[in-house]
Homo-oligomer: A and B are copies of this chain.
Amino acid sequence: MDEFALIRRYFAGHGRGSGVAVGIGDDGAVLEPAPGMQQVQVIDTLVEGVHFPSDLAPADVGYRAVAVNLSDIAAMGAVPRWMTLALSLPAADEEWLDGFASGLHTAAAEYDVALVGGDTTRAPVAVITVHISGDVETGGAILRSGARPGDTVYVTGTLGDAAAGLRGLREGDPVRELLWRFTRPAARVRAGRALRGVATAAIDVSDGLLGDLGKLLLASGVGARLDVEALPISPPLAAHFGADEQRRFALSGGDDYELCFTASGELPDTGIVPVTAIGTVVEGAGIELRLDGEPFDYADAGYRHFADDESGA
């Protein structure tokens, strides 16, 4: 068996799922879109040494590769269905592949998404691209462009944990509960579904709150005022870092994959994840930070871990 046949072995037999007429093994997958629904498609790449350290556990790499894409599906309010994988590796290391595949399949099972096709190639470093398709009710997708002055700005869960965990990892002393947010990010699919018809705009926090909210505001043609004291900070982040560092991680940390969204009026039950109001949409452009009502001076820099990279070609 050649080594790429070996790779394929780890991904065969996972094409079962609703609407999968032909899965892995032909020139392409044959799928049955749900009648009357629109389809949401997302694609995202993780590069070894850029998006994750080379020594990250392969199961975590596999899990993350799926979760970061599911997070985009969640931010649109869609239900994930089908996944394809383009996996480029320096060599077919059986132990690494075994871990990677188990993490990938774990995430796929948790979110009920079927692996329907892929491509395996050789490259000098691991480059993992996942494409996911999901369903959304026609006209129901939550876009970045619908925020209006007077809307409240919300965020799900807590912010800053993943970046703090990753910094600990790089310094050789990670806090397990924080690092977990980096290695096993939760995609807020259930919350995204609950927000259809409620959120006026949404984006997932992959690059940091300020950067991602900035994109949402730009797409909507508005600005925002954020209350820094309102940022949701987890108990472990509060326990291990001072107030200033907590705020830096929460504002610029990225990799948490929470949803940031805007809405006016009452919020529905978004499931198990808490939602926190952190500010208000205003006329104009950009983000004004306030701490206890006073202007908060903050230079957004320094906490983008590996990245010069950017999503959304």
A72 to B76, CA, bound (A): 29
CB distance from A205 to the nearest CB of B (A): 11
Contact B125 A86 (CB under 8 A): no
A122-B39 in contact given A22-B141, A28-B72, A129-B129 (Cβ < 8 Å) = no
Contact indicator A122/B309 (Cβ below 8 Å): yes
A118-147 vs B, CB cutoff 8 Å, 1 = contact: the mask equals: 111111110101010110101001011100
A28 touches B123 (CB 8 A): no
A287 within 8 A of B: no
- Which of chain B's residues has its CB closest to A140's CB? B30
Are A44 and B309 closer than 8 Å at their CB atoms? no
User: Nearest-CB distance from A24 to chain B (Å)?
Assistant: 6
Contacts A82-B41, A124-B124 given; does A312 touch B119 at CB 8 Å: yes
CA distance A313 to B138 in the complex (A): 32
- Produce 1/0 per residue, A5-18, CB < 8 A to B: 10110010000000
* Contact partners of A24 in chain B: CB under 8 A: 312-313
A131 contact set on B, CB distance < 8 A: 41, 43, 84, 86, 131
Asked whether, in the complex, the Cβ of B27 is within 8 Å of the Cβ of A119, the reply is no
CB distance from A208 to the nearest CB of B (A): 14
Q: Does A278 contact B (CB under 8 A)?
A: no
A51 within 8 A of partner (CB): yes
Quick one: closest B residue to A73, CB to CB? Answer: B28
- For A117, give its contact among B22, B116, B313 (CB under 8 Å): B313
Q: Using CB atoms and an 8 Å cutoff, list the residues of chain A in contact with chain B.
A: 2-5, 7-8, 11, 21-22, 24-33, 35, 37-45, 47, 49-51, 72-73, 75-76, 78, 82, 84-88, 116-125, 127, 129, 131, 133-134, 136, 138, 141, 143-145, 202-204, 219, 308-313
